[in-house]
Amino acid sequence: MKKFAHFNASTIEEAVELLKRYGGRANLIAGGTDLLGKMKDRILPNYPEALINLKTIPGLDFIKEEKGLLKIGALTRLEDIATSETVKEQYTALAKATHRTASPHLREMGTIGGNLCQDIRCWYYRNADNRFPCLRKGGGRCYAHAGDTRYHSIFGGSVEEGCIAVHPSDNAPALMALKARVRTSKRTIEMEDFFQVGVIKTTVLDDDEIVAEIQIPTPPTGSKSSFYKFALRKSIDFPIVNCAAHINTSEGQVRDALICLNAVYVKPYRAKKAEEVLIGGEINETTAAEAGLAAVIEAAPLKDNKYMVEIAKVLVKRAILDCR
């Protein structure tokens, strides 16, 4: 690893000032489960000149209910969220998602803020020593289009013939389904508006902006949520496909539904056509299957990943049936 400066920030304000000082040449670090691997393998064209440690900032590790919101600090460990009784009882999709993230050791280190802000996992992008200077690194092409697309987008790229690397988070679809918001050092952002495709960028955060808190509205009476993940191994692996559903029913009829897939597109993918199938009807095997089909009706799989369409369809069905 190359040399870099290291700062232990004591406040969010101090961390923001350090980011401004380095002008995009510094990285934030909390659990470090994503960043350190990138640095060791030197996958990016530019190495950070400084790391700013956020774990030395007090008061960013919490789970609390306040004024109709569940508030989760950005430094809250994934394992603490997965085992929280409040989260398991009322925000089931999030509890299941955090429990299925990575391995037990990584869940003890990784934070919810870091998980949402993690970088893409495309094997061309992640190849050591920046062997493939692709679009997401400011290069001129996406190498996956002519290469191995087993785990790439089934809903197209970010732009025509653009990046087809998928978003890898397990927690993003659960939080989107639960209508969460992200409070940063500058503003509050709806989870659905939080993600962005850019050069070495997966969120809308500015270079000097820091995630402080996740806010989730208290689910209405009669609503349920669930999460499913398909991966080659039950622990460690990133998702091949995952799905979260949050459905509100009254007198046996669906009043509101939000279904989100991930690892199938360059950003978390809201399956609005599946939601439309459910509204006003009952949840049963037939409607759940119809919603699963609707969720992938616009899929355009690549030469190596047609199998992902069937997986997505099944996970949508299962997540919906869990919400009966």
**pLDDT tens digits for range 57-111:** 999 999 999 999 999 999 999 999 999 999 999 999 999 999 999 999 999 999 9
307-310: long-range contacts (C-beta < 8 A, 24 or more apart)? 308/151, 308/154, 308/240, 308/241, 308/264, 309/154
Residue 7 β-bridge partners: 52
Tell me how far apart the alpha carbons of residues 167 and 310 are, in angstroms, rounded to a whole number. 19
Beta-sheet strand order (sheet of 211-217) = 63-66, 69-73, 211-217, 181-184, 188-190
The answer to whether the CB of 172 falls within 8 A of the CB of 267 is no
**Taking 80 as the threshold, does the pLDDT of residue 223 lie above it?**
yes
**pLDDT tens digits for range 243-289:** 999 999 999 999 999 999 999 999 999 999 999 999 999 999 999 99
